[in-house]
Chains A and B, each alone.
Chain A
């Protein structure tokens, strides 16, 4: 059975503790780490790949880029924002899901289960890449940057990155060098087309 790890980053000791104690009872997680600040979390960022990150979005204000970089790198990381009140969509968009603290806590467990199921289906079932993903993989293997691919396909870098993340989730391969071997193995590109 896959063991998942949970990380809670929330400045309120009370809320942090309450979430931890509630989720401990569910036995869903092999480990639960808690942090009160973003910096402490980044310094001790977990090495487990299958994880859920529950975080207060106020902690990443002015650090959105850093947050995006961190979450995009970890393919099997799902993020849930803890909200005290409504926040602008620009911030909400950065998270996989949101949980308002006035909602019943069972809803949080439900959202976590949803995230874990998505992760499982990404890992366990051999998923076929969509045509768009294959196209992007082909360019990645040829050595094009995310920005260059975006320009070629008229997509924003954010969209290209999101496809790249899906490709990694479906194949289980995270690095460009690894994806290149994969692209050759499924005949998307020939060896002569790639820069080794």
Chain B
């Protein structure tokens, strides 16, 4: 469903509950949701086009970036959104899945689950490295471009970005496939089910996150770089 300014927020959440993730990453969960998108955005001082771009990407729609609509303040909102998503991955989702896999490992004690846990540990290490790169290098670099502060030396490359995203998504998809098709759980299937549900939620958010970076954030950075030269 392509979301329009006149749509009711409650209705679009009802159609796709994963939109709650987008609203939470914008830190707007406490605002009333029985409003149209336009009114909701007014209430929480959010530019409508920013909100629409994000929720439409969460709804898996193609979003066209109109550079003229995006001012510096809007790009800061986008950076905060991305940073908040990182917190959700690092502080909530990964530790949760990690604990469940650990419990599964203790209860089942098979070589597959042991390896699966190792696979997940390596995957997490890789993701954290990418998220840290964004937080410590990319975000400060973009803020430097926005506020014309001292140029920050960076090897930022959109190709590397995309490569990281593909690797992260492939490993997550493998983890899901292994759990769904190839690993036996005996009496502990409730643990496997919980892990699989968390993985689906994580995958949904990560895919939207990557698309937001590739279709909005990176082109906006490139535009800023052009304007600054």
Contact = CB atoms under 8 A, between A and B. Distances in A.
Question: Are A and B physically bound partners?
Answer: yes
A119 to B, nearest CB: 15
Contacts of A171: 177, 181-182
A189 to B, nearest CB: 10
B116 A174 contact: no
A184 B112 contact: yes
B116 A181 contact: yes
Interface in B84-129: 111-112, 114-116, 118-119, 122-123
Interface stretch (B43-51, B165-173, B191-199): B165-173
A174 B115 contact: no
Nearest to B184: A185
A173 B210 contact: no
Interface string B123-139: 10000000000000000
B211 interface: yes
A6 to B, nearest CB: 14
Given A174-B170, A178-B119, A178-B171, A191 B178 contact: no
B25 to A, nearest CB: 19
Interface residues of B, number: 27
Given A181-B112, A181-B119, A185-B183, A175 B174 contact: yes
B175 interface: yes
B207 interface: yes
Contacts of A196: 115, 118
Contacts of B122: 177
Interface in A166-196: 171-175, 177-178, 180-182, 184-186, 191, 196
Nearest to B167: A175
29 contacts: A47-B207, A47-B211, A49-B173, A73-B166, A126-B181, A171-B181, A172-B181, A173-B174, A173-B178, A174-B170, A174-B173, A175-B167, A175-B174, A177-B122, A177-B123, A177-B171, A178-B171, A178-B175, A180-B115, A180-B119, A181-B112, A181-B116, A181-B178, A184-B115, A185-B111, A185-B112, A185-B183, A191-B111, A191-B115
Given A185-B112, A185-B182, 13 more contacts: A47-B211, A49-B173, A171-B182, A172-B177, A173-B174, A173-B182, A174-B173, A175-B171, A178-B178, A181-B119, A181-B182, A185-B178, A191-B111
